Amino acid sequence: MVQATHKAEIAVPDYELDRDKFDALLSETLRKADRGIIDSPAQALASMVQEIYRQPLQYLKPGSNLVQKSVEVTSQGSGFIISENGYVVTNAHVISSEGDALKRNLASDALKEIAFANCKREMNTFSEEQRSMLAQTIGTEAVINLCLEGSLTYYANYLRIGEIDTDIRTLIGATEVTAEGYASDIKAVGKPTPGKDVAVLKIEADNLPTVALGAVNSIGTGDSTYILGYPAAATIDHSKPIEPSFTSGLISGQKTMPDGWKVLQTDAAISPGNSGGPVFNKDGEVVGVATFGSVDPETGAQVQGINFVVPANIIQEFLDQANVEAETGRLSKLYEEGMMLRSQERYKAALDKFQEVEDLNPDYPYVKQKITEMRQALVDNPASNLPMLAGIGAGVLGGGGGIYWLIRRLRKSRTQSKVVSHP
């Protein structure tokens, strides 16, 4: 899992009513009353309130009071380790401190708090009779919502955000969302979609589980894909360790981006939080990074079954920029050998492999679990009772023997390298 915490100072001027604009609105309302378009004081008041809050930039102007707040927002995505000395691939948008979306997220909660306080204050400026009129014509809750919408529109227009400080952390394997993780430095980064949405990070760690990067021609239309990551919707209890989720589908085709490079289209599910996760072919090779889905322009809802993957050749471009060579790590090979021996019911030999992994990296995902399994197998020796898919997802940015075995089961033959995915 990759987490990026963005902090900044925001400042926005409080607002006051523009008296000239208000007087013009009042005159227009009186003219409508004279012509019988507005037939009661309650309707006149409701009409003016609605007009002001629906056109806040016309009727509200900055006041003398400047509201300042410290704000922060944390985004999370997935990723995968490409070399055992700590190079990680994810999406650029997972860690980016640029863009309007981040600024909106930074300001959102703080501005809502400010707007709510202002609207509560404004409601108290109405007399009891006026509040009764508004309740009868618009509804008290509707008036408050109008005020909130108008206030947020005003604040968004006048908002100023200071320098954004971003702290990026990489968490390996099954982990708690609140875990601290490894400090992560950006070594190469592209631009969020429609740009080349790839980032290469470096963490100070060694002997890490890795994935194998496939060639651009190692997958084509109609081929199966397998996606691992940490979709936010799958995280039910943030106080407990979470494990990566697995989805599968087919490559539907290729699409050309505005700059001329191509993305892969898949019907495998990609949800928020999956971004940056590895996309595997049937041989257990990473053929791309899960990146974005399609959105219905009318509803804003995600369109199911139309998702996109930045392919391996684009990943390689950024690895070249960072001067990084993708290679299967020593411990990943040892872990894979242990899993192979386990499938052959050679529990003592498998135990030796897993213990060697633990000696080199005590925190290697799932290795302690495998050691316990092998010791118990040596006592009980019921080979058929060990679940083939135990520990699936161990390596989403972490260890993953389960991924290896899933692919082996699908292929009916041995994979070339151990698959380890990153959140």
Are 201 and 146 found together in one domain? no
DSSP string for 209-272? ---EEPPGGG--TT-EEEEEE--GGG---TTS-B--EEEEEEEEEEEE-TTS-EEEEE-S---T
CB 323, CB 355: distance < 8 Å: no
Question: Comparing 72-86, 224-238, 300-314, 319-333, which segment has the lowest mean pLDDT?
Answer: 224-238
Backbone angles phi, psi at 169, to 5 degrees: -130, 140
> What pLDDT score does 374 carry?
93
Are 151 and 295 found together in one domain? no
416 falls within a domain: no
Query: Band of the pLDDT at 265, cuts 50, 70, 90?
Result: very high
Are 220 and 273 found together in one domain? yes
Two structure tokens written together for 389: 């898919």
4 falls within a domain: no
Cα–Cα dist 209/330, whole Å? 8
Query: Band of the pLDDT at 417, cuts 50, 70, 90?
Result: very low
Number of domains in the chain: 3
Is the model more confident about 239 or about 73? 73
195 falls within a domain: yes
Calculate Rg over the CA atoms of the chain: 28
> What pLDDT score does 42 carry?
93
Rounded (to 5) percent helix, strand, coil in the chain: 40, 25, 35
Full 3-state SS string of 29-94: HHHHHHCCCCCCHHHHHHHHHHHHHHCHHHHEEEEEEEEEEEEEEEEEECEEEEECCCEEEECHHH
278 falls within a domain: yes
Q: Which residue has tokens 């300001």?
A: 107
pLDDT above 80 (res 273): no
> What pLDDT score does 181 carry?
86
Beta-ladder partners of 165:
7
Are 285 and 403 found together in one domain? no
Query: Average pLDDT, stretch 199-217?
Result: 90
Question: How much is the mean pLDDT over the chain?
Answer: 83
> What pLDDT score does 297 carry?
64
Domain end marker among 286, 302, 321? 321
Query: Band of the pLDDT at 111, cuts 50, 70, 90?
Result: confident
Whichever domain contains 241, its CATH number is 2.40.10.10
> What pLDDT score does 106 carry?
80
> What pLDDT score does 172 carry?
84
Domain end marker among 254, 288, 321? 321
Q: Which residue has tokens 């990146």?
A: 291
Query: Band of the pLDDT at 113, cuts 50, 70, 90?
Result: confident
339 falls within a domain: yes
Backbone angles phi, psi at 266, to 5 degrees: -140, 155
342 falls within a domain: yes
> What pLDDT score does 224 carry?
92
Query: Average pLDDT, stretch 368-394?
Result: 67
pLDDT above 50 (res 372): yes
Are 358 and 283 found together in one domain? no
Distance, C-alpha 339 to centroid of its chain: 32
Are 343 and 315 found together in one domain? no
Are 52 and 174 found together in one domain? no
Are 37 and 134 found together in one domain? yes
- The string of pLDDT tens digits covering residues 301-320 is 666 778 899 999 999 999 99
Backbone angles phi, psi at 235, to 5 degrees: -90, 100
Query: Average pLDDT, stretch 16-36?
Result: 93
The 10 Å Cβ neighbour count of residue 288 is 29
For the chain, the straight-line distance linking the first and the last C-alpha, in angstroms and rounded, comes to 3
pLDDT above 80 (res 37): yes
Are 204 and 263 found together in one domain? yes
Domain of residue 404, residue span: 330-411
Are 384 and 368 found together in one domain? yes
Are 25 and 154 found together in one domain? yes
2 falls within a domain: no
Domain end marker among 321, 349, 372? 321
CB 182, CB 145: distance < 8 Å: no
> What pLDDT score does 300 carry?
61
Are 261 and 381 found together in one domain? no
87 falls within a domain: no
